[in-house]
Chain A
């Protein structure tokens, strides 16, 4: 799924590095993977962070393996690949998200959280939470007071807050300093995928080093 929509709000280098290094919580990885499915700009950046990992791997001092390691690997190969979950077909969301929903948007089990807004929490590891948000046209997201970092990826429709307008494919990276009140644009209901890491602090798992080390 590659939205025709021009994406103007992208992932930060810290998040892309964290995704490449594998240090983000699962809920954040889900938002990143879903955005990368929609945005080639960030996919290229993410893969260039992967290539640092490749360069590091190549530069590793070696650890000897057991004598039978190759033979054991050949035996694993002979067993054939592990069965992978078959892709849901014709889903209206990108594959990584579809795997968490177990289908498309019509399969989501929404729960009301007030003012017409609905949410569905997706099952991830507990360090951070991923949820789908359904904001009816013109409605505002009730204040959910995130203490840590919040990522909000628009899947359908658009919302505005004090900072900017976010349409399909756009992602808002909000830290705890941002007190914002997203409002869905009139005309279309807005569906978002959001991840929050509170009560964990952002800096505990995002390598801050990213910003200054890498020139992208």
Chain B
């Protein structure tokens, strides 16, 4: 349906699976096409994006949707907290609190500005600072869509895809480079360590976020 040929080299380069193929193909289209094809392409979004689950929690207090999210993310949150220095018992308790916070704050999740895993990471990080480091965590002023406005579906789709691409890029990093990033994020970086260029595609996400913020500001005026 789309011009597959042009994208094949991308796929070969990254050694992408067939699931990513859908992404690569999709991303070659202009934004307008993305809007037009939104419903058709929805089916190719992998399950691990989790946005739907969060929406079901948000609107219907859907416990099944929560149980699915819990099954995937809670063991990862626990691993993250243990790597950051929590004992297994403390990590277990904190994970439960993180997941409960996810339920309580589901209405604040903005899928045009973060993936579900990014959002859960920020909750877990803050829990870690609070419980392990016993510090308050000052957060920037919250920017949320008003009661009527909400992000456009195409913006949501693109942000979710770019987050997924970042995840793929992370997985594709050589072990040593990924280790350095992990150390930076798990607070275990002895100073003086310098990493080589990894080329994580942060620039696109940053400019996407910049755009999302200015759209949000416009609705807030």
Contact = CB atoms under 8 A, between A and B. Distances in A.
17 contacts: A22-B187, A33-B138, A33-B140, A36-B140, A37-B141, A51-B114, A51-B202, A56-B182, A57-B77, A61-B79, A63-B75, A65-B75, A70-B70, A73-B99, A209-B183, A213-B177, A216-B206
A52 B197 contact: no
The 8 A-B pairs at the shortest CB distance, nearest first, are namely A54-B118, A62-B75, A207-B184, A36-B140, A44-B209, A33-B138, A81-B104, A76-B100
B11 interface: no
Interface string B173-184: 000011011111
A17 interface: yes
Interface string B184-200: 11110101111111111
A107 to B, nearest CB: 17
B203 A215 contact: yes
A47 B114 contact: yes
Taking each of A29, A52, A74, A215, which has the highest tally of chain B beta carbons within 10 Å of its own beta carbon? Answer: A52
Interface of A: 1-2, 17, 20-23, 25-26, 29-30, 32-34, 36-37, 40-41, 43-66, 69-70, 72-74, 76-77, 80-81, 94-97, 99-100, 124-125, 203-204, 206-210, 212-216
Interface string B74-89: 1111111011000010
Given A33-B138, A55-B117, A65-B75, A73 B100 contact: yes
B156 interface: no
Contacts of B189: 23, 207-209
Contacts of A216: 202-203, 206
Contact of A64 (B75, B169, B199): B75
B166 interface: yes
Given A22-B126, A33-B138, A213-B198, A57 B100 contact: no
B219 interface: no
Given A69-B74, A208-B193, A215-B200, A94 B140 contact: yes
A113 to B, nearest CB: 24
A52 B202 contact: yes
Contacts, number: 237
Interface stretch (B31-39, B128-136, B147-155): B128-136
Given A59-B167, A70-B70, A81-B105, 18 more contacts: A1-B141, A21-B186, A26-B136, A43-B140, A44-B213, A47-B113, A47-B118, A48-B206, A50-B118, A51-B163, A51-B205, A65-B95, A74-B63, A77-B104, A95-B140, A125-B135, A206-B191, A207-B183
Contact of A54 (B103, B117, B169): B117
Contacts of A30: 138
Contacts of B180: 209, 213
B31 to A, nearest CB: 18
A209 B135 contact: no
Contacts of B187: 21-23
B102 to A, nearest CB: 9
Interface of B: 48, 63, 67, 70, 73-80, 82-83, 88, 91-92, 95-97, 99-101, 103-105, 113-115, 117-122, 124-126, 128-129, 133-142, 163, 166-167, 169-171, 177-178, 180-187, 189, 191-203, 205-207, 209-210, 212-214, 217
Contacts of A50: 114, 118, 121-122
A65 B77 CA distance: 10
B205 A48 contact: yes
Contacts of B119: 54
A36 B187 CA distance: 22
Taking each of A20, A49, A57, which has the highest tally of chain B beta carbons within 10 Å of its own beta carbon? Answer: A57
B210 A41 contact: yes
Given A44-B206, A55-B163, A73 B213 contact: no
